[in-house]
Amino acid sequence: MLRLALLVAVAGISTAAVAEDVSVANGARIAVIGGCHDCHTVGYGESGGKIDPAAALKGNPVGYGGPWGVNYAKNLRISASTKSEDDWVTFLQTFQAGPPMPWFNVHAFTEGEMRSLYQYIKSLGDVGEATPADVPPGGKFLTPYVDLGTPIMPKG
Ligand code: HEC
């Protein structure tokens, strides 16, 4: 019984200790460790992880092609600008998107992480332009895209 009481006490303390830090700085960190810049920020990967403040999370006009047609890592500044912070949380908890967007990973964020990400995105300023319109399967594409289609099998 004593052991159980101790456990509860310790659990209580640790929950308090991880009380969430909702801040722009934490949102900036989450965008990095969540891999969001990898696809949503032009030049991020090529520069070895330097974040160009003018491009951060504005989306990428180079698309992803596959059986779904061609889609684009969207401008998240626009996504956030059209929502209140509470609406953003509900959106991130429920949205689904086409490949290669790992939307299921975003569902695992805590509410505080979602709020921090929102505050970071809003702090970036100028909302910028939307990415090109998605192209349906077999449709005419007007931008370069990365082919994520049929795997190329080894010869042999
Ligand atoms: C592998 C590339 C990739 C990564 C990594 C990635 N995204 Fe995406 N994201 C996309 C693509 C592509 C789309 C558009 C999918 C579609 O059109 O169906 C998208 C769409 C979205 C959307 C929907 C936008 C809207 O307004 O409809 C949100 C929100 C989003 N991503 C958030 C994130 C967050 C947050 C992270 C980091 C945790 C992240 N993405 C990481 C590629 C990526």
pLDDT tens for residues 78-130? 999 999 999 999 999 999 999 999 999 999 999 999 999 999 999 999 999 99
Q: Is residue 112 part of a domain?
A: yes
**Is the pLDDT at 17 greater than 60, yes or no?**
no
Residue 70: which domain range?
A: 21-132
Q: For residue 17, what are its two tokens?
A: 């200790």
Residue 144 domain-assigned (yes or no): no
β-sheet bridge partners, residue 87:
none
Q: Is residue 8 part of a domain?
A: no
Of 33, 36, 40, which is best to mutate to test ligand 1, by the most ligand atoms within 8 angstroms of its C-beta?
A: 40
Confidence (pLDDT) at 3: 57
Q: Which amino acid is at 18?
A: V
User: Is the C-beta atom of 109 inside 6 A of ligand 1?
Assistant: no
More confident residue, 1 or 92: 92
Mutate to test the pocket of ligand 1, among 74, 119, 122 (most ligand atoms within 8 A of CB): 74
pLDDT at 12: 52
Q: Tell me how far the alpha carbon of residue 40 lies from the centroid of ligand 1, in angstroms.
A: 7
Stretch 4-17: mean pLDDT: 51
> Is residue 50 situated within a structural domain?
yes
Is residue 141 in a domain?
no
CA distance 50 to 144: 23
How many domains, the chain?
1
Each residue's pLDDT tens digit, 35-86: 999 999 999 999 999 999 999 999 999 999 999 999 999 999 999 999 999 9
65 within 8 A of 142, measured Cβ to Cβ: no
Query: Is the overall model pTM greater than 0.85, yes or no?
Result: yes
Which whole number is the average pLDDT over 20-47?
97
Q: Is residue 41 part of a domain?
A: yes
Whole-number Å distance, alpha carbon 153 to ligand 1 midpoint, is 28
Do residues 117 and 30 lie in contact, with contact meaning Cβ atoms separated by under 8 Å? Answer: yes
Categorize the per-residue pLDDT at 16 as very low, low, confident or very high, splitting at 50, 70 and 90: very low
156 Cα–ligand 1 center, Å: 37
Element (H, E) at 71: strand 69-71
From CA 15, how far away is CA 110, in angstroms rounded? 13
Whether 154 is covered by a domain: the verdict is: no
Q: Return the pLDDT at 149.
A: 86
Q: Name the closest-CA residue to atom 43, ligand 1.
A: 101
The pLDDT of residue 101: 98
Query: 4 lies in a domain?
Result: no
Q: Work out the pLDDT band at 156, boundaries 50, 70, 90.
A: confident
Ligand 1 mean position, distance from CA 7 (Å): 40
Ligand 1 pocket check for 64: Cβ under 6 Å:
yes
